[in-house]
Amino acid sequence: MKRKWSREWISSKQPRKQRKYRHNAPLHVRHRFVSAHLSSELRKQFKKRSLPVRKGDEVEIMKGISKGMRGSVDRVDLKRCKVYVDGVNIKKVDGSEVLKAIEPSNLKIIKLKLDDKKRQMIFERAEKSEKANAEKKQPVKKMEHKKQKKTRKTKEHRKTRRIKRRSKRMSKKKRKGGK
């Protein structure tokens, strides 16, 4: 693995390549790593299951000590693949409070910030593909399948196969020069 990063490593089963893929991924790929699920209302509205989290989105924390808390995203750290939410703080040893880094998989997006044109284009693409799929789907006629008889392997059939296998083994031995 002399290369620093390759798109093909995502399909590898090897854990070392999976770790290297995530650790050395460029920012445009890391952007997908910070995706969170949408709430059920947004899912129905936009026909998408998850989206990358952006600054300004309102999220709800689904797991951890801060479970159930809601707030807007203060910043997204692509280097560490973490999200910082307003109102979710931790106390340091010296007494100061800082924002807690949260894994995006533990978040649910409640309200989207739709100021960005690129984000609106994502939803337009989803709508187009939905319409195309709906047009392709037509009622399929069910055909009656003829039931095929299953042939039972009889004793005679098994006996003939056994004899064939035995004769093959014997011919191989003769070719090798054995008994």
pLDDT, one tens digit per residue, over 83-110 is 999 999 999 999 999 999 999 999 999 9
- Residue pair 50/37 in contact (Cβ under 8 Å)? The answer is yes
Angle at 83 between CA 97 and CA 23, to 5 degrees: 120
Residue ranges per structural domain of the chain: 35-122
User: What span, in angstroms and rounded, lies between the C-alpha atoms of 24 and 9?
Assistant: 11
pLDDT at 164 over 70: yes
* C-beta neighbour count of 109 within 10 angstroms: 24
Torsional class of 151: left (φ above 0), alpha (ψ -120 to 50), beta (otherwise): beta
Q: What is the pTM of this model?
A: 0.69
User: What span, in angstroms and rounded, lies between the C-alpha atoms of 20 and 9?
Assistant: 8
pLDDT at 81 over 80: yes
pLDDT band at 144 (very low <50, low <70, confident <90, very high): low
Relative to beta strand 50-52, strand 35-38 is antiparallel
Residue 90 DSSP SS3: strand
Residue 77 DSSP SS3: strand
pLDDT, one tens digit per residue, over 11-33 is 889 998 888 888 999 999 999 99
pLDDT at 138 over 80: no
pLDDT at 135 over 70: yes
Question: CATH top-level class for 35-122?
Answer: mainly beta
User: What span, in angstroms and rounded, lies between the C-alpha atoms of 82 and 100?
Assistant: 9
User: What span, in angstroms and rounded, lies between the C-alpha atoms of 59 and 148?
Assistant: 57
Q: Which residues pair with 156 in a beta bridge?
A: none
86 Cβ contact list (under 8 Å, min separation 6): 71, 72, 73, 74, 99
